[in-house]
Amino acid sequence: QQGLWQLFSEVEMPLVPVLVTMERNGVALDTELMRQMSHRLGEQLLQLETEIYDSVGHRFNINSPQQLSSVLFEELKLPPARKTKGGYSTGASVLEELRGVHPVIEFILNYRQLAKLKSTYIDTLPNLINPKTGRVHTSFNQTKTATGRLSSSEPNLQNIPIRGKEGREMRQAFIAPPGSCLLA
């Protein structure tokens, strides 16, 4: 308990009004940029689907772990890594190990990355804009992590991708009001 009162009174409590202001203010989004990105990512995903189907010689449900497992490990005879209840694992770590073994692996990894970005962020965040404020409002959590770090939820705005061209471009959709700037 030593030092906990000091931590509480000098760090945690002074942070509360700052977090309240941040939650209340929210963050503005460039919805036109998000719309353009959604369209472009949709086209890229269609192109990747075509490349995946061409690589294996037929269509299948790319998003089905069972069908993907069957294609990769039974049809293409790629070396399986881990077995699950439904078949061989097609998780990211398994696919990363198979990178370079067959061209379809790179297409699948790219497809998954873009599909996640599009569904989780690009297509979802604009729908979370508060109609009264015109902004997205998150909740900051001071006490949810064991390490004492701040977290964000509904939506998690601390987990916006930065890797890759698309992730960096998506971050540009968070905008400041005219005459202001965002510092990160």
pLDDT tens digits for range 106-138:
999 999 999 999 999 999 999 999 999 999 999
- Assign 1 a pLDDT band (cuts: 50, 70, 90): low
How high is the pLDDT of residue 163? Answer: 80
| DSSP output for 158-177 | T----SHHHHHHHHTTEEPP
Bridge partner residues of 4 (DSSP): none
Q: What phi, psi does 27 have (nearest 5°)? A: -135, 140
Task: Judge whether residue 79 has pLDDT over 90.
Answer: yes
Percent of the chain at pLDDT > 70 equals 98
Q: Whose CA is closest to 160, among 110, 125, 135?
A: 125
Higher pLDDT, 90 or 162: 90
- Which of 3.90.600.10, 3.60.20.10, 3.40.1280.10, 1.20.1060.10 is the CATH number of 21-175? 1.20.1060.10
Q: Whose CA is closest to 122, among 26, 49, 32, 50?
A: 32
Name the pTM for this structure.
0.85
